[in-house]
Amino acid sequence: MATQEDLEDARLQQILLQQLQSLQRAGVRQLPRAGILSGEIPPGKPDQPPATSLSPVPEMQSTPSPENALEQLELLRQKVAGCTLCDELAASRTQTVFGVGNPQARLCFFGEAPGRDEDRQGEPFVGRAGKLLTDIIHKGMQLQREDVYILNVLKCRPPGNRNPSPEEANCCRPFFERQLEIIQPEFICCLGTVATQNLLQTRETIGRLRGTVHNWQGIKVIATYHPAYLLRNPAAKKDTWEDIQLLMREMENTTGDTV
Ligand code: URA
Ligand code: URA
């Protein structure tokens, strides 16, 4: 008969298995060797295979692939967190705001820069404009924020929410381009003038850029008004709804999953 201890062991095994499966679903492919974190076992040489591997997927590669997007994004997030290329922004920020969402999202929303709420919370689009974006995602598209990925041109808040300077946007360009390369979305929805002009490297106005499908490195790009603009100009919401419907039609017409 199973003793109390056997039952406890079985329960622990089940919990451990569930946690490993959850990590695996999140894209994690390797764990540190038992004891490394607590200092009991010295780390192995870099060329040794990891002792604990969730799958035979090779070690972290520099080439982005869906399997290691989570790790690649985490490495990039750490680089961004230490960035001091823009003196003023690095000095005034509470923290960098990297991006949030599904590392394998079909759709990325691309905004301008963190505002006060984002600077405080470390997550894009969590303030008033963010609430409107979340409504567009939930009510308009029947998706969850967790289904998509949300990022900005700038990773730091410009003081007083002024527009990013071209120099600042250029400093952040390698970061947002790399983020998009890692995620490899099929669609990018640019929110507002700054995001659209910086991604497509154009001076055209948002009024002219919205309403059609653009291409950036093989990814379909839709541009629409920024949610903060929509809050000030509710009459433009009908245009954004048209843009979102165009985006949804494009997403339905490709063979990917629903998300
Ligand atoms: N506006 C943006 O462009 N991005 C945010 O994250 C918040 C507000
Ligand atoms: N001006 C902007 O900067 N963004 C918009 O979305 C519309 C006008």
Is the pLDDT assigned to residue 257 strictly greater than 90? Answer: no
pLDDT at 43: 37
**d(C-alpha 100, C-alpha 13), whole Å:** 31
What is the bridge-based pairing of β-strands 100-101 and 149-152? antiparallel
Is the pLDDT assigned to residue 169 strictly greater than 50? Answer: yes
pLDDT at 18: 40
pLDDT at 65: 72
Is the pLDDT assigned to residue 203 strictly greater than 90? Answer: yes
Same-domain pairing of 222 and 168: yes
The model's pTM is 0.76
In a domain, 150, yes or no: yes
pLDDT at 12: 46
Same-domain pairing of 48 and 147: no
* Mean pLDDT (the chain, rounded): 83
In a domain, 59, yes or no: no
Measured from the alpha carbon of residue 153, the closest ligand is 1
In a domain, 64, yes or no: no
Q: Which atom of ligand 2 is nearest to the CA of 163?
A: 3
Is the pLDDT assigned to residue 96 strictly greater than 70? Answer: yes
pLDDT tens digit sequence for 17-35: 444 443 443 444 444 333 3
**d(C-alpha 210, C-alpha 226), whole Å:** 11
Same-domain pairing of 82 and 194: yes
Is the CB of residue 247 below 6 angstroms from any atom belonging to ligand 2?
no
Buried b (16+ CB within 10 A) or exposed e, 195-219: bbbbbbeeeeebeebbeeebeeeeb
In a domain, 127, yes or no: yes
pLDDT at 224: 98
Ligand 1 centroid–CA 17 distance in Å is 38
The more confident residue out of 135 and 53 is 135
pLDDT tens digit sequence for 206-252: 999 999 999 999 999 999 999 999 999 999 999 999 999 999 999 99
In a domain, 88, yes or no: yes
The more confident residue out of 58 and 112 is 112
Same-domain pairing of 136 and 20: no
Which of 125, 153, 162, 225 is the pocket-test mutation for ligand 2 (most atoms within 8 Å of CB)? 225
Same-domain pairing of 6 and 111: no
Same-domain pairing of 43 and 165: no
pLDDT at 63: 62
Domain count, the chain: 2
Task: For residue 178, give the nearest of 85, 73, 36 by alpha carbon.
Answer: 73
Residue labelled with tokens 């002009």: 197
pLDDT at 182: 98
Task: Taking residues 93-97, report their average pLDDT.
Answer: 98
pLDDT tens digit sequence for 49-83: 333 333 333 333 456 677 799 999 999 999 999 99
Same-domain pairing of 79 and 198: yes
Same-domain pairing of 134 and 46: no
Structure token digits, residue 97: 């705001």
Do residues 33 and 43 touch, judged by C-beta distance below 8 A?
yes
Q: Residue 230 maps to which CATH number?
A: 3.40.470.10
Structure token digits, residue 5: 């201890």
Same-domain pairing of 14 and 104: no
In a domain, 62, yes or no: no
Ligand 1 centroid–CA 130 distance in Å is 7
**d(C-alpha 87, C-alpha 91), whole Å:** 6
Task: For residue 153, give the nearest of 84, 73, 96 by alpha carbon.
Answer: 96
In a domain, 201, yes or no: yes
Structural domain including 46 reads: 1-25+37-54
Same-domain pairing of 210 and 150: yes
Ligand 1 centroid–CA 10 distance in Å is 47
What percent of the chain has pLDDT above 90? Answer: 72
Q: What angle do CA 104, 67, 223 make, to 5 degrees?
A: 20
At 29 the three-state DSSP class reads coil
Same-domain pairing of 132 and 206: yes
DSSP for 152-172, please give it. ES-SSPPGGGPPPPHHHHHHH
* Contacts of residue 23, Cβ cutoff 8 Å, sequence gap at least 6: 31, 54
pLDDT at 202: 98
Same-domain pairing of 16 and 98: no
In a domain, 76, yes or no: yes
Is the CB of residue 216 below 6 angstroms from any atom belonging to ligand 2?
no
